[in-house]
Amino acid sequence: MSQSINFDPIRLPPEAEELRLEVREFLADEIANGSFNPSSSILKSGFDREFSKRVGKRGWIGMTWPKKYGGQERSFLERYVVTEEFRSQNAPVTCHFTADRQSGPVLLKYAQEHIKLDILPRITAGDCCFCIGLSEPNSGSDLFAASTKASPTAGGYLINGTKLWTSNAHQADYMIGLFRTSPPTKRKP
């Protein structure tokens, strides 16, 4: 005996639905103006600083962040609406996407206030791009085996080591990286 299961369609709250329509209109205009081709791979057309600046002017980067850092204090649902609409059209979001989804939240949680006030508004404006440096030649994705060192110096740290497979490192303004400030400990069995 088989039974059918019916799922009610997801209905977005009115403010999220309005935002979705606004993003769709923006993307349609961008496509019509030749900004990007939605049938092209995002890997080929994904890094576009000017597109990110236009997205930033709309308030769609760092949109859940506090206003004092350039955010809009909007909901995560609204952020997901924007992200899904961009992804559905293969929009060139690579320039700002790492900063929006990973680096910015790390800075919000751990950075000193003067760094937050300097960098976060530039991220939300689409003026600042990040990459993430984790993998190394002898450790791959085993982060415990990472060996790149950060040694304290006057005014900062001296980095010694190599990172690889760091997408968009050649275009990024900053990198969030994993560096050892003390010797590794023994692994527990």
pLDDT tens digit sequence for 122-154: 999 999 999 999 888 988 778 888 889 999 999
Residue written as token pair 């023994």: 186
Map out the domains of the chain as residue ranges.
14-128, 133-177
Token pair for 108: 């919000």
Helix (H) or strand (E) holding 109: helix 104-110
Please name which of 129, 68, 136, 74 lies closest in space to residue 104, comparing C-alpha atoms. 129
Q: What is the pLDDT of residues 31-67, one digit of tens each?
A: 999 999 998 866 555 789 999 999 999 999 999 999 9
Say if CB 19 and CB 81 are below 8 A apart. Answer: yes
pLDDT band, residue 27 (cuts 50/70/90): very high
Q: What is the pLDDT of residues 79-127, one digit of tens each?
A: 999 999 999 999 999 999 999 999 999 999 999 999 999 999 999 999 9
CA dist 155 → 17, 113, 160 (Å): 48, 17, 16
Fold topology of 14-128: Butyryl-Coa Dehydrogenase, subunit A; domain 1 (1.10.540)
Count of CA atoms in the C-beta half-sphere (13 A) of 136: 17
pTM check: above 0.75: yes
Amino acid making up residue 30:
E
Three-state secondary-structure class, residue 59: coil
Please state the separation of Cα 183 from the chain's center in Å: 30
Is pLDDT of 187 > 70?
no
* Whole-angstrom distance, CA of residue 68 vs CA of residue 59: 13
